[in-house]
A and B are shown apart, each in its own frame.
Chain A
Amino acid sequence: MSEDHSAPSMGTPDWLIRGEVAMCPCGCIGKRKKGSFVEKTLNGTASIMRQAMFGDDMASRDGLLQRVDARVKVVALVGLLIVAALVRNIPVLIVMYLATLVLASASALPLGFFIKRVWLFIPIFTGIVVLPAAFSFITPGEIVVPLWTWNGHQVGLTNQGLTAVGLIVIRVATSVSLVVLVTLTTPWNKLLAGLRALMVPRIFILIIGMAYRYVFLLLNSVTDMYTARKARQVGNDQGQVKEGQRFVAATAGALFGKSHALSEEVYMAMVSRGYRGDARTLEGFRLTAIDFFFIAGCIVASVLILGGDHLVGH
């Protein structure tokens, strides 16, 4: 019986008493500090909140795109994304990207943030991933920068490969800019109502709207659980992979339990207010002059872009 005292459940957990190895913020004490999963999750949830609040602030500013109806913007977004995807020449895409910058400043968005948001994402995701495609062993073609020979074959950067890399980088930049433009200039509930213009059924609009609300409520639960863990933790948790994974799984499991209980409560609250299973939305859809100008502008721009692309191609 007395042997039971050595059982792990009886003692203080290791993570609670172990000292921090790399206190130095630069991580110069031998070991690279990779960040605790607890802190990363807390930062992640905080950044979700930050983004949502920032979006609300931007949407309430007085600018060009804020005045355009959400449905018009949603349809224009999809249309322009398709146009951006069909363009085959880098210069045309650059013109399109510059046009998004003009729209951003016309909509009172901070230009620095707008550019950073797009170009911080691209090197991380697109640049590194796509770069190897410039080499002749991935994209064969006319070698413009010869690098070395291997087995008698010239290896280098090809014209085709470089063009492909340039195309995808600028295309991703333009697409992300277009989405950010619409997201930041439209309040989230209007944006959801705008999805009606894409023939999304009303019941889905209702569900997406509720899901979006409850993301933030449940986000608070996550933050609470992780903050509680962080508050009890003295050292860092490197090397405590198993224990950390157990904690994450238990947190996620508890969150699922809470979510389910919440959905039952929400359901009963809805029923007691007369909900019978059908969705209704308030529809006040009136196009103003600015909407028509915007639609006309988008159509003209699309024709010019695709026409220009055709001309540049020849």
Chain B
Amino acid sequence: MHIPDGYLSPQTCGVLTAAMVPAWYTASRRVGKVVKSRYVPLVAVAAAFSFLIMMFNVPIPDGTTAHAVGAVLIAILLGRWAAVIAVSIALLIQALFFGDGGVLAFGANAFNMALVAPFVGYAVYKAVAGSSSLTSGRRAIAAGIASYVGLNAAALAAAIEFGLQPVLFHTANGTPMYSPFYLRQTIPAMMLAHVTVAGFVEFAVTFGVFAYLQRANVPILRINHPDVAVTDAELQRRKLGWRWALIPIGVMVVLTPLGLLAPGGAFGEDAPQALDLGKYGLNAIPSGLEKFSSFWSHTLLGGYGFGSGQHPVIGYLLSAVLGVLIVGVVAIGVVWCIRLLQGRRGDGDGDGHQEPGEAPA
């Protein structure tokens, strides 16, 4: 899929390079924010890996071999923005030093393989993987499907770039100046090869590498999945986390009417009138106590019951449920405020972080 020089008009190359400049800038800023000064070695080695993944010959059923591109794999392992830079640099090294892909067409190649493929692939990966655990089969399959779709998206982009050439650039007598095929020829030709063969090679490599890392090197997978549950058991635990907490709270709510059975008043909560004043050497209720003990009497459920004093058990239960709800809402509100403040401070989630839209499963 490396487009050589001469196939695309300089105008097309210019437009696609111009489209890549903001992508490179954003990618550089985002990755730099997450990995700080680790940025240079991490991206450099990722680019070298990206270069090498295209060196691996993969056996395919007809007895020949093919090679994968690996852009989606890198997007899954290190994040989309890191993939933009790493794959671009791999493409640049190929174009400059090994004559694979054009120098003028570098922007176009980068657009197809370093921007379209990782972004489309990563979106598919997120959608298919859902909230599955890091070591689940579903996640490995998701990686494979994502690479298949990502590669085909890149091929489609290249086919469109090729197919527009004869329409936009031809001489007065209809001679195409660059790639001579029209969209109705380039799209079937490119897609046939990628849908039937190249896509499956990409699937095999991406799925295989992901499955291998699931077996052999889970910490590496955590680089880009810091908040995803590692095993199904952990996922189950996380899912149950708040539901488990509800059980003891519910039990306590049910047990609240037990207080009615207890004789006497709760320690230290006696009404001033019920105090044994003589015991403390007093002959009148202290004026402050008198005044403030009945300072607020506009309560909904005074004394954890209804004002009329009827149905004391229901009153207790209702008080408990209402109390739990109020405390819960306040607690959630406080946490939400803290998150909001934190989110504003660490604005711009990087690749190392979870996307804001998807809460940990």
Write the A46-67 contact mask toward B (1 if CB under 8 angstroms, else 0): 0010011001000000000000
A286 beta carbon closer than 8 Å to chain B: no
A313 to B226, CA, bound (A): 62
* Given known A-B contacts A171-B6, A255-B49, A275 and B177 have beta carbons under 8 A apart: no
Contacts of A172 in B (CB 8 A): 4-7
Contacts of B207 in A (CB 8 A): 249
Select B37's contact among A35, A167, A191, A276, beta carbons within 8 Å: A276
Total count of chain A residues near the partner, CB < 8 A: 98
B 204-219 contacts with A by CB, 8 A: 204-205, 207-213, 216-217
A117 beta carbon closer than 8 Å to chain B: yes
A105 beta carbon closer than 8 Å to chain B: no
A10 to B85, CA, bound (A): 44
Give chain B's interface secondary structure class.
Answer: helix
Across the interface, do B44 and A210 meet the contact criterion of CB distance under 8 Å? yes
Instruction: Identify which of A82-90, A144-152, A227-235, A295-303 touches chain B.
Output: A82-90
A88 to B206, CA, bound (A): 43
A168 to B179, CA, bound (A): 7
Select B56's contact among A41, A77, A188, A240, beta carbons within 8 Å: A41
Give chain A's interface secondary structure class.
Answer: helix
A121 to B6, CA, bound (A): 13
B185 beta carbon closer than 8 Å to chain A: yes
Across the interface, do B93 and A212 meet the contact criterion of CB distance under 8 Å? yes
B178 to chain A, nearest CB (A): 7
Select B63's contact among A44, A84, A201, A238, beta carbons within 8 Å: A238
Across the interface, do B97 and A188 meet the contact criterion of CB distance under 8 Å? yes
* Given known A-B contacts A139-B180, A212-B97, A257-B217, A222 and B59 have beta carbons under 8 A apart: no
Contacts of B166 in A (CB 8 A): 139, 164
A285 beta carbon closer than 8 Å to chain B: no
B217 to chain A, nearest CB (A): 5
* Given known A-B contacts A218-B48, A260-B220, A55 and B42 have beta carbons under 8 A apart: no
B293 beta carbon closer than 8 Å to chain A: no
Contacts of A270 in B (CB 8 A): 40-41
Q: Which residues of B contact A (CB under 8 A)?
A: 4-7, 9-10, 13, 28, 36-49, 51-53, 55-61, 63-65, 70, 77, 85, 89-90, 92-93, 95-99, 102-104, 166, 171, 173-182, 185, 204-205, 207-213, 216-217, 220, 223
The 6 tightest CB contacts between A and B, nearest first, are A249-B208, A175-B5, A210-B44, A277-B37, A133-B180, A253-B212
- 19 further A-B contacts with Cβ under 8 Å, apart from A219-B55, A277-B40, are A34-B63, A35-B65, A44-B55, A44-B57, A81-B10, A88-B177, A159-B175, A171-B178, A179-B103, A207-B43, A211-B48, A211-B93, A214-B45, A215-B51, A215-B52, A244-B59, A250-B208, A252-B53, A252-B70
